[in-house]
């Protein structure tokens, strides 16, 4: 991780100022053609003194539009200063974290994981349609039952069938024999093209799929398939902790990845990341988008450049080593918490390179779960699990007060 350096506050401010100078300035320049040009001056003060030391807020108020994708083709020239910063942030994520080769990927800062996931399935659906003459009924999405509901949402929008594979209750691993049965059935029903969604950290368990399980089964059937990684939750933690990441661009089956910056990276909401191999994003080209310079090959259309600058700021505030240290602390805290649970004989699931602990609900009194704001797997029906996410603000002290109360009830019921 050589190019991911930590920058000083002054270096960051200078870089952002330089970028904003290269953008059109709505306050001074004559800009006649853009609809949302300047933010309402009665509400957003562009001369507030605190803005000088706050690069993300300055960018927010100057309101650059990052519509489209800036890693390929020509981009809207009015905002080329901050577009370059978006490319710098994407380079750090795609190359340093997910091992893409420089210049061999495309991507953009999306509104979140949902959008990035839908962008991926849209891209693969069109690819199968355009290059294989596939009919929509012949294409299916494939994902585990622990997969985020945005996959079901996207399947509904794009009119694709979704095959949900059951997982084993305590390991959360894909049930291989059931996977095989479901694929055989799908082939019998006329499916020829499969879009696989692999999880790098499911929302409820933090479980990580083994992509080879899918590959081994799918290759036995007359099918064509492509793989996407949903790293919305785990993308900024798992790759740093695992000694053997099978879910990045070194894996030839994987063509795209979703990461959320508004989860582990702690960027403002509305900040996700879509990445794919070079040559793929063009499958979603909408030729009608001709008023946008270059081409709009993204799902969302207009979006704020401030989100891209926020990602850049967070990454350069830590640098590769600083980020690793931060994540390592969370891992150690999670290890410690799991050890305490072992002593109390509480059943839980935990992926060793993630910071989520999912507790068996029958071992946790409802009142305790409520008091400590644990998140249940199901809100309406019978709930089997509660999760605890060990973030920066979840300190050993907080975990300890939870454990003390848990210990009291466990010793009564034991």
The residue ranges that bind ligand PLP (CB under 6 A) are 112-114, 117, 148, 150, 202-203, 230, 232-233, 260, 272
Q: What is the C-alpha to C-alpha distance for residues 116 and 261, in angstroms, rounded to an integer?
A: 12
Q: What is the C-alpha to C-alpha distance for residues 385 and 361, in angstroms, rounded to an integer?
A: 5
For ligand PLP, the closer CB: 70 or 148: 148
For ligand PLP, the closer CB: 55 or 112: 112
Considering the complex, what minimum distance in angstroms separates the CB of residue 73 from ligand PLP?
Answer: 26
For ligand PLP, the closer CB: 67 or 259: 259
Considering the complex, what minimum distance in angstroms separates the CB of residue 229 from ligand PLP?
Answer: 10
Considering the complex, what minimum distance in angstroms separates the CB of residue 150 from ligand PLP?
Answer: 5
Instruction: List the structure tokens of 35.
Output: 């609809």
For ligand PLP, the closer CB: 166 or 294: 166
Considering the complex, what minimum distance in angstroms separates the CB of residue 320 from ligand PLP?
Answer: 23
3-state secondary structure the chain: CCCCCCCCHHHHHHHHHHHHHHCCCCCCCCCCCCCCCCCCCCCCCCCCHHHHHCHHHHHHHHCCECCCCCCCCCCCHHHHHHHHHHHHHHHHHHHHHCCCCCCCEEEEEECCHHHHHHHHHHHHHHHHHHHHCCCHHHEEEEEECCCCCHHHHHHHHHCCEEEEECECCCCCCECHHHHHHHHHHHHHCCCCEEEEEEEECCCCCCCECCHHHHHHHHCCCCCEEEEEEEECCCCCCHHHHCCCCCCCCCCCCEEEEEEECCCCCCCCCCCEEEEEECCCHHHHCCCCCCCCCCCCCCCCCCCEHHHHHHHHHHHHHHHHHHHHHHHHHHHHHHHHHHHHHHHCCCCEECCCCCCEEEEEHHHCCHHHHHHCCCEECCCCCCCCEEEEECCCCCCHHHHHHHHHHHHHHHHHHC
For ligand PLP, the closer CB: 112 or 305: 112
For ligand PLP, the closer CB: 75 or 150: 150
For ligand PLP, the closer CB: 72 or 119: 119
Considering the complex, what minimum distance in angstroms separates the CB of residue 243 from ligand PLP?
Answer: 22
For ligand PLP, the closer CB: 192 or 262: 262
Considering the complex, what minimum distance in angstroms separates the CB of residue 390 from ligand PLP?
Answer: 15
Considering the complex, what minimum distance in angstroms separates the CB of residue 178 from ligand PLP?
Answer: 21
Considering the complex, what minimum distance in angstroms separates the CB of residue 284 from ligand PLP?
Answer: 18
For ligand PLP, the closer CB: 136 or 152: 152
Considering the complex, what minimum distance in angstroms separates the CB of residue 378 from ligand PLP?
Answer: 16
Q: Closest-CB residue for ligand PLP?
A: 113
Q: What is the C-alpha to C-alpha distance for residues 212 and 391, in angstroms, rounded to an integer?
A: 30
């Amino acid at each position: 991780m050589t190019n991911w350096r930590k920058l000083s506050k002054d270096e960051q401010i200078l870089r952002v100022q330089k970028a904003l100078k290269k953008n059109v300035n709505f306050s001074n320049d004559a800009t006649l053609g853009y609809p949302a040009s300047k933010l309402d001056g009665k509400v957003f003060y562009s001369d507030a003194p605190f803005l000088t030391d706050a690069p993300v807020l300055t960018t927010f108020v100057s309101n650059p539009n990052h519509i489209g994708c800036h890693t390929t083709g020509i981009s809207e020239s009015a905002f080329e200063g901050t577009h370059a910063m978006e490319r710098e942030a994407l380079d750090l994520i795609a190359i340093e974290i997910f091992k893409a080769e420089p210049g061999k990927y495309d991507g953009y800062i999306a509104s979140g994981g949902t959008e990035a996931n839908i962008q991926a399935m849209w891209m693969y659906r069109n690819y199968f349609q355009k290059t294989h003459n596939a009919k929509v009924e012949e294409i299916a999405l494939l994902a585990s039952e622990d997969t985020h509901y945005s996959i079901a949402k996207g399947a509904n929008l794009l009119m694709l069938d979704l095959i949900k594979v059951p997982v084993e209750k305590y390991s959360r691993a894909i049930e291989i024999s059931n996977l095989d049965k479901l694929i055989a059935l799908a082939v019998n029903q006329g499916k020829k093209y499969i879009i696989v969604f692999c999880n790098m950290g499911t929302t409820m368990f933090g479980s990580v799929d083994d992509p080879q399980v899918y590959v081994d089964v799918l290759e036995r059937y007359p099918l064509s398939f492509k793989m996407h990684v949903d790293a919305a939750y785990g993308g900024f933690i798992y790759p740093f902790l695992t000694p053997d990441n099978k879910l990045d661009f070194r894996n030839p089956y994987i063509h795209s990845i979703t990461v959320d910056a508004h989860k582990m990276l702690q960027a403002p909401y509305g900040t996700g990341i879509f990445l794919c191999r070079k040559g793929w994003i063009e499958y979603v080209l909408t030729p009608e988008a001709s008023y946008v310079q270059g081409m709009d090959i993204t799902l969302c259309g207009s979006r704020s450049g401030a989100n891209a600058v926020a990602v850049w700021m967070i990454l350069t505030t830590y640098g590769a080593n600083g980020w690793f240290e931060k994540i390592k602390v969370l891992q150690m805290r999670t290890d410690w918490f799991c050890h305490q649970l072992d002593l109390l004989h509480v059943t839980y699931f935990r992926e060793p390179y993630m910071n989520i602990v999912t507790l068996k609900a029958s071992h946790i009194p409802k009142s305790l779960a409520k008091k400590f704001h644990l998140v249940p797997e199901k809100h309406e029906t019978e709930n089997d699990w509660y999760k605890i996410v060990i973030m920066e603000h979840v300190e050993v002290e907080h975990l300890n007060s939870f454990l003390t109360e848990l210990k009291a009830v466990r010793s009564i019921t034991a």
